[in-house]
Chain A
Amino acid sequence: MADFEVPVLNEYPVIPKVKEGVMAHSAPFLAAEKFQTPLGFPGELPENWKEVAIDKMGELLGKYRSLQVFLDICVHCGACTDKCHYYLGTADAKNMPVARQELLRKVYRRYFTFAGKYFPKLVGAVDLTKEVLDDWYSYFHQCSQCRRCSVFCPYGIDTAEISMAAREILDTVGKGQKYCNEIIGKVFVVGNNLGLPEPALRDTLEGLEEEIEEDTGVKVRLPLDEKGAEILLITPSADFFAEPHVDGLIGYAKVFHEAGVSWTVSSKASEAANFGMFIGSYENMRRVALRIREAALELGAKRIVFGECGHAWRVAYSFLDTLAGPFDFLDQNYPIPQHICEFTNNLIKENKLRLNKAENDHMKLTFHDSCNVARGAGMGNVEGGQFTIPRALIKASCNYFYDMPQDTIHDATFCCGGGGGLLTDDLMEVRVKGAQPRMEALKRVTEEHGVTNLAAICAICKSQFAKTLPYYGFTMDQIVSVHQLVSNAIVLKGSEQEAELDGTAE
């Protein structure tokens, strides 16, 4: 199936011995000029690229305290060395978080510090060369910016910040990544990552309405561009057609229907994802975020709710107000923005949803905490709400739920292996290998508790697992959406399911 060796799943995690350069060949396709220009980046390496790169580094050092402090204060203690899923899955030395950071730090030292300028060998400082640039391109695209290393670092050094800076420098000298930059361009032109135009979107949503009516006998609407709707739903575009994402979207629609609120999707902002974060570009991230503000204003929405998407929720929860706020025109009685899991959880707490858990009895569930939700965002305005709320939804919808081992969940969760802009076929090897720690934990609960399915609230996790599960002897349909479980269990008022349960069916 693969032209590389798929890692083995051990009974207990094994920290691999360091190997040098085994993943040096891994690099994503370069972005062509036509994908670079719309984002404000050159199409190829400029003649004075070294100067441009060092200047950019200097600019970023002045703009981001995180970068300045993190490049200065690492003591090489090694606490992070065995925490990255890409290191655990590949054993490549440069996939240890500190070693990945050193790729940038070495150059920082050489050009920006006294010790690096005068004693480069002593402190491991190097000149910026084309080889160094290639190393950056390779290894900063083997980081999914999942922040697991930052949890364990005694100073909170976050490799995500460093890899974002590195990618922005690379973009500035024309070495952009095709997958991310092409997608950002599509968002600017069409409105979503997949390039789905408005008519296709309308068609899809109508199809889903028919499907729900067939299943339940209830007319549940999935409105598009409806002015005056109370809630604007911003969801990853994969929710419109991919499996199991779309089953989640059906779940949101049923929940909104039962709540009796009016809502709409926007064709202008038909995408929750914000790949501007992956490439570390504040300007592009801001441009992508501003579409949401514009859509909310044009449609006259009072609330913004986000669908299941990991990094999108990080950008929404942690950055949206910064990038596109203040949202003083929205209803201040609700969190801005709100997560669909928070919305559904509130309804469950208020006893406004009728859920028949038996509908999910064919599955035994576990939950994969998506990295950007777990370590980059929150939920429910309580510390750790991002862990308890999705689990509460699953437990309210299913009879069988088992957590994976403690050191692989909550804020110690492993990335799925496809986050941070790596969800592209040209990076399949690193994606499969990076999934190893999660697959190992999943195997534990399948053996110990007979778990059959893995639920997630991130579009990238869902796509990544659908693709990588088979490499490890599982099947692609074992990954499910959390709102798919809610959707299965929900008993709509006036539905066939309600009649059957209450014994009033004919």
Chain B
Amino acid sequence: MTLVTTLYVGLFYAATIILIVGVALRIKKYAQTPSPLKIPTMPAPRTQTGVVMRIFREVVFFESLFRANKWTWIFGYLFHFGLLLVLLRHLRYFTEPVWFWVNWIQPFGKYAAFAMVIGLLGLWGRRFLVDRVRYISTPSDHLILALLVGIGLSGLGMSYLAHTDIVSVKTFFLGLMRLSPQPLPADAFLLTHLALVALLMIIFPISKLMHAPGVFFSPTRNQTDSSREKRHIASWAQQLEAGER
């Protein structure tokens, strides 16, 4: 095995572990921290089904963002759903035989990469052009956008400029999954693409990217409006009551 292959094998195993363990620990923390008070942003659904629908609309349509700002919504939507299609398309490199529906979305996934990059550039543009957004942007906000744009462009490079040996890439990843590493082709677009993806995986649990799992734990969105019907009390608050009544 070449040095490059060895490096990338190590990198991807490490990145995967950091991503999975890091996100799991974070989610555990969110799940275990109590919500002592009923604080849904009202009006809120009065049933659990209603809450599921509210979060569905939030996650699938970005409902609140749509109300807030149409430009951010358009760019945000282009990016996130572009990314989703691209990710689904990439499943073909990790499955053998390839699932039939992954084949179906293959052509859409290719164009989705453009949507993703355009969305990202739009969001990035706002960080320079809108004075309010410029004020609140930190260096890491810019770097994360740069990272994602880099991933998108290097990926597009392989599709449209210099094809990589995609069959070997697939062999490499199937090898990783079966714990028997296989050689990785060493062209610039591919190595850049994979290095940036691994970096993204590594910073995921320690960055604002945690908004993806975090939104499901947001008490203002996931609580029902039922405070007059059912008593809601946290364990630490219950301790205050102990011995009083």
Contacts and interface: CB of A to CB of B under 8 A. Distances in A.
B207 interface: yes
Contact of B140 (A114, A115, A376, A381): A115
| Residue of B65, B126, B227, B237 most packed against chain A (CB within 10 A) | B227
A374 interface: yes
B135 interface: yes
Interface string B105-134: 000000000000000000100100011110
A156 B220 contact: yes
Given A74-B208, A326-B231, A381-B46, A83 B68 contact: yes
A411 B126 contact: no
A378 B218 contact: no
A63 B58 contact: no
Given A64-B33, A80-B68, A411-B43, A122 B143 contact: yes
Interface string B140-171: 11010000000000000000000000000000
Interface string B196-225: 000000010011101100110111110001
A321 B231 contact: yes
A114 B215 CA distance: 21
| Residue of A99, A377, A386 most packed against chain B (CB within 10 A) | A377
A76 B138 contact: yes
Contacts of B139: 121-124
A172 B231 CA distance: 29
Nearest to B233: A322
Nearest to B227: A318
A152 B68 contact: yes
| Residue of A65, A70, A75, A318 most packed against chain B (CB within 10 A) | A65
B3 interface: no
A96 B36 contact: no
A189 interface: no
Interface size range of chain A in the complex: 35 or more
A150 B220 contact: yes
B40 to A, nearest CB: 8
A81 B123 CA distance: 15
Contacts of B68: 79-80, 83, 152-154
Contact of A378 (B33, B43, B233): B43
A374 B225 CA distance: 13
Nearest to B234: A63
B42 A377 contact: yes
A113 B43 CA distance: 34
B39 interface: yes
A185 to B, nearest CB: 20
B136 A81 contact: yes
Given A65-B35, A96-B132, A154 B215 contact: yes
B10 interface: no
Contacts of A83: 68
A79 B72 contact: yes
Contacts of A319: 37-38, 227
A18 B131 contact: yes
A278 to B, nearest CB: 14
Interface string A326-366: 10000000011100000000000000000000000000000
Contacts of A325: 231
B231 A322 contact: yes
A122 B138 contact: yes
Interface string B32-69: 01111111011111100000000000100010110111
A7 interface: no
A299 B42 CA distance: 33
Contacts of B220: 66, 147, 150, 156-158
A387 B236 CA distance: 34
Contacts of A15: 132
A72 B43 contact: no
A17 interface: yes
A93 B135 contact: yes
A219 to B, nearest CB: 34
A162 to B, nearest CB: 12
A123 B210 contact: no
B65 to A, nearest CB: 4
A15 B39 CA distance: 29
Contacts of A121: 139
A439 B46 CA distance: 33
B240 interface: yes
B140 A63 contact: no
20 contacts: A17-B131, A61-B33, A63-B36, A66-B35, A72-B208, A76-B133, A76-B137, A77-B123, A78-B69, A79-B69, A81-B136, A96-B132, A96-B136, A115-B140, A147-B220, A155-B214, A155-B221, A318-B227, A375-B42, A387-B43
- CB-based closest 6 A-B pairs: A152-B68, A73-B214, A156-B220, A79-B68, A78-B133, A124-B138
Given A79-B64, A82-B132, A93-B132, 11 more contacts: A64-B34, A64-B35, A79-B72, A81-B133, A99-B135, A124-B138, A154-B64, A286-B240, A317-B228, A384-B43, A412-B67
